[in-house]
Amino acid sequence: MARLERVLEFISRRSIRKGWLALVILFFLSFVIIPTIFVLTYAFTNWDAINSVVLSDPVKMTMITNAIINSFEIAGLVTLIDFMAGLPMAWIMVRKKFRGKALVDTLIDMPLVVPTAALGFSAALFWGIAPGDIVNPLGLGVVSSPLLLLILLHIVFSYPYMVRSLSAILEQIDQNYETAGRTLGASPLTAARTITLPLFRAGLVTGIILCLARSLSETGGTVIALATLSGSKGFNTGPTLIDGWKAIAQTTDPNYNAALAFVSILLIIIALVLMVLIRVVVKRVHLPMGKVWPRPEKLLSRGFFPKLKDSSTMVFLAVMVLLPSFFIFTCVFVFNPTSSGNWGGFGSSIIYSFTVAGVVTLVDLALGVPLALYIARGRSKRLPEVIDTMVNIPLIVPTAALGYSLSLFWVGGNAVNSDVGMLLVILAHIAFTYPLVVRNVTGAVEEVDPAFEETARTLGAKPIQAFRRVLLPMIKSSILAGAIMAFTRSLGETGATRAVVSNANTAPNFIVTLITKAPKDFYSAALACIILIAISYVLMLGLRYFTRRGKGAN
Amino acid sequence: MPSVRLEGVQKRYGDIHAADDLNLEVRDGEYLCLLGPTGAGKTTALRVVCGLTSLDSGKVFIDDKDVTDLEPERRGTALLSQTYSLFPQLTVAENILFGPDIHDLPEEERRRTLADMLDLVRLTKRPDAFPRELSGGMMQRTALARALASGAEVLLFDEPLRALDARLRISLRHELRSLAKSLKITVIHVTHDQDEALVMADRIGLIRNGHILQVGEPAQVYDNPISPFVANFVGQSNFVTGEIIDKGVKTTVKTESGMTVFARPCAMEVGEQVVVGVKIGNTEIAREGDSFFEGIVERVLFEGRNLHIDLLVEGTVHFSAKIPSWRLGKLASGDKVMIKWSPESASVFKMPEKGLREELRVE
């Protein structure tokens, strides 16, 4: 007891607290931020290599230009569609009550946690015209353009982000404004459009940035979808280009490192600039929303039209999001079972993935919660504000570029043995999951009145005791939610993993290999996807359980 | 029972002086009310005492020991915030035992403390209730018990009655004060409600812009305000400005509009520009009789026991009077009335440097 007392006394010293905080910030900078953007320095140190390998090679240049144009075209269109279909859905989820709402709510979240590799396979089989050996007769088989297929795929996993961001804001908007508008004679549509919609800006920024970032980042599902579509050879997005070249650089031609660095730099810079622009544009530019067309809007508010809007929203969810996600289950009945299935390999890849995700989550929690406290409780100071902004960077940077940058930082982009490889994969996953924990916990801590901890201090509690006994119970559910998000993201990540170690033995990578490398084994791939989806589903139920409980306690 | 002393405390947030050469002495076992308008630096003063706000300069003493650099948990000064900050995940009993748990007291002592405290604040029937199940008064009593159980000998109340409804607020004034007195603890009670301060305090400290203006017993602060601001903040006052033309057993002041008024004797010299302040309750109005000057009734507000009369008087901005409500019906807006007061009820102040209007401003 006395020893515990002494330990408490020791860690409560001001110098120790300051030291620990400095350590956390140092970790954040040197393990998260700097590795994420380290590749930018390559432009200064190795310009000659870039010049000779990339800029003077018109074939590579064309490939890079096309890939990047594809990436941003897909991301832009996907975000636009997400917004148009997501807005009425957010409205339904927040303002309407109907039977089965909880189920719809769960289904919308589903694609958030399922590894995109599994989604990519499922959606490609559903929409695409597959090469002869993997035709699933139940699939629609209507899409032959890789661009269109990727748009359809990216909608599946980015749509939930848009709906979540918009409904989070809508929940906070006082409905009384709209009611007041209605009592002053506005039709429901006019009131919603002129009063509530302009209040959406903050949610819109979050939603747009999340969708863009997710689409720009996505690698695993995209690689698989392209491999599952006949005639898509030579079509690339930024991340798939990195993915393909990384394998070449690691095995045959180290010269490709310069090309990799160049693509990564382009992706990072364009993504960051774009995000800043969006923030400015959405916040500053005011659309002339004040104009009112009473008669047509009144007409559109009545009878048939709202029903049409709601039902088409639901149909969109079912056809564009849910069916493509779950289509994979039909493959079990359609594909021929292969006897050569490498289930031992899949088992060990799942263990590998879980080990990585577990370690990553623990590190995120241990070093992310203190940083979140620092940000949330230091709002008025300069440094916490700066760190708060920096936390977003790894969320925005495409993970394939992040992964390449990180491997360049730690091992100079060279191939490594499998032990070091695992360590690198862990570091890469920490870099893009750490912000998720920090964001979640920061939000929760900001909701808690600092008076609670302060009162505890004046009642005799040391800072660590005030945290453990007072604050921690209040933010527990958000910490858990952040942890589960980090865990599922790590479990489902493909792009960063392959950019660090192109043959890392993670579960998503195992599936990618099954589909893209001979001998191809689609039956095993489909089963592996189903197993991954099942595991993710269980994790998501856990997530919902904890977040729900958090809400109930307030 | 410790005393508390602040010496030359400075605290700035950007351009705002939350504490500007703040000096305050609270005696052993004293109940001191810190009274001031919103944004005057009342809460900052409390947070400085318990160590939650660090100082730019100055010193804090508790029991004559310099505690300026001591952590909040070492000071024995429990803060009761406006919203009580009862820990929502803990029951009443667990909340009360927060301090003893932290200090790892033996089980026997803990049980005794809990029983004593529950008894003291009349919550023996609700130890297992959660804060959200309690009424405002009960929450407040729980917070008080929790502070006392932590062994704190100085209690810092930050607007403790603000969140309660009006009736309860008034009945709890007495209860809170007598509890503090019977336990002989030192209390600093922050409020912007002058009635509350007048009823509860041993002494009142008037604070404005992070600076203590006047400290004194309630009657002293009320009757002998040190400045027009204090005169107006503790019981509303009427003011006229003018020049001293005669002094002796009473001060004679001639206003700019040529009226002559009387006030109590003062230290200022003939010819000086001054402000004469008189509490609105001491302002007498009548239909006829001798008077200092005339006014016109602008508005009559019925307040139950009293009538509040707003008057139009030449050369003043606001002018009001409070008269017993049996005179309702005898005065109507538009009536001409004669205004006077007894000279000993009016104070004379130096003309403030920035003018009277700026002096009276409550931001």
DSSP state of B328: B
State the sign of the Cα–Cα–Cα–Cα dihedral B83, B87, B89, B93. negative
Task: Please state which CATH number belongs to domain A17-285+319-331+338-553.
Answer: 1.10.3720.10
Nearest neighbour of B99 by CB, restricted to A449, A459, A474: A459
ipTM exceeds 0.85: no
B71–A462: do the CB atoms touch at under 8 Å?
yes
Domain B237-360 = CATH 2.40.50.140: yes
List, in sequence order, every residue forming a beta bridge with B294; answer none if it has no partner: B338
Q: Which of B50, B222, B286, B213 is nearest to B147 (CA)?
A: B50
A455–B85: do the CB atoms touch at under 8 Å?
yes
**How close, in Å, is residue A16 to chain B by CA atoms?**
14
A5–B151: do the CB atoms touch at under 8 Å?
no
Cα(A86)–Cα(A312) distance, integer angstroms: 11
Task: List, in order, residues 6 or more apart from B89 with CB less than 8 Å away.
Answer: A473, A474, A553
pLDDT tens digit sequence for A241-256: 998 888 888 788 888 8
**Which B residues, 33 through 62, put their C-beta within 8 Å of a C-beta on chain A?**
50-52
Quick check: B150 and A460 in contact, CB under 8 A? yes
Scored b (16 or more CB within 10 A) or e, A189-219 reads bbbbbbbbbeebeebbbbbbbbbbbbbbbbb
| B79 touches A: beta carbon within 8 Å | yes
Three-state DSSP state, B205: strand
Quick check: B49 and B79 in contact, CB under 8 A? no
| B77 touches A: beta carbon within 8 Å | yes
Q: Dihedral, CA atoms, B65, B68, B70, B72, nearest 10 degrees? A: 110
Three-state DSSP state, B3: coil
Question: Along the 554 residues of chain A, how does pLDDT read in single tens digits?
Answer: 577 778 888 888 888 889 999 999 999 999 999 999 999 998 888 888 888 888 888 888 999 999 999 999 999 999 999 999 998 998 888 888 888 888 888 888 888 778 888 889 889 888 888 776 666 677 777 778 899 999 999 999 899 888 988 888 888 787 788 788 788 877 877 877 777 777 777 678 888 888 998 899 898 889 988 888 877 778 999 999 998 888 888 788 888 888 899 999 999 999 899 888 887 887 777 666 667 777 777 777 777 788 888 889 999 998 899 888 888 888 777 776 665 666 788 889 999 999 999 999 999 999 999 999 999 988 778 899 889 889 989 988 999 999 999 989 998 877 778 888 999 999 999 999 999 899 889 988 988 889 999 999 999 999 899 999 999 999 988 888 888 889 988 988 988 998 888 888 899 999 888 888 877 778 888 888 888 888 888 877 877 777 665 444 33
> Tokens for A56?
């003077």
Domain B4-223 = CATH 3.30.910.20: no
pLDDT tens digit sequence for A79-121: 999 999 998 998 888 888 888 888 888 888 888 778 888 889 8
Cα(A430)–Cα(A419) distance, integer angstroms: 17
CA distances B328 to A92, B309, B323, B341, Å, are: 59, 10, 9, 21
Nearest CA in chain B to A462: B73
Where do the H-state alpha helices sit in A301-336? 304-316, 323-326, 331-334
Other CB atoms within a 10 A radius of the CB of residue A261 amount to: 28
DSSP string, A401-469: HHHHHHHHHHHTT----HHHHHHHHHHHHHHHHHHHHHHHHHHHHHHS-THHHHHHHHTT--HHHHIII
B83–A451: do the CB atoms touch at under 8 Å?
yes
Q: What is the residue extent of each domain of chain B?
A: 4-223, 237-360
Quick check: A368 and A438 in contact, CB under 8 A? yes
Mutation target vs A (from B15, B52, B74, B82; most A CBs, 10 A cutoff): B52
Q: What is the residue extent of each domain of chain A?
A: 17-285+319-331+338-553
